[in-house]
Amino acid sequence: MSHADSNASEPSDETVVQTGSDAAEDEIFSAYKQSAIRDYDVTVVFEDGVLEVDVYLNAPDGAGDGRSADQVADEAALAARSAVDELFDE
């Protein structure tokens, strides 16, 4: 049993990071086909109760759903934060 398991009402750091990463990737792949993406990186860090999310997306203009790659990256980061917020609200 890890120290994170000692408080059953709080998700583990690993769960928080995975939830945020999954939500960000879901947002990216809802906007772009995987084959259209040149490169992307989702970094989620959760330490001492602080969530940091960084999303990099390199995709050609016009290849997605009309949003720019920068806009999708920003919305992916917001999706990650929202998913983590929901995780803590459960």
pLDDT digit string, tens, across residues 2-22: 444 445 578 999 999 999 999
How many angstroms separate the CA atoms of 72 and 4, rounded?
32
pLDDT digit string, tens, across residues 29-54: 999 999 999 999 999 999 999 999 99
How many angstroms separate the CA atoms of 71 and 74, rounded?
5
- pLDDT higher than threshold 60 for residue 1: no
* Residue-range domains of the chain with CATH: 9-89 (3.30.300.100)
Query: What totals of helices (H) and strands (E) does the chain contain, helices first?
Result: 2, 2
Q: What is the pLDDT of residue 71?
A: 94
Query: How does DSSP classify residue 49?
Result: T
Chain centroid to CA 67: 18
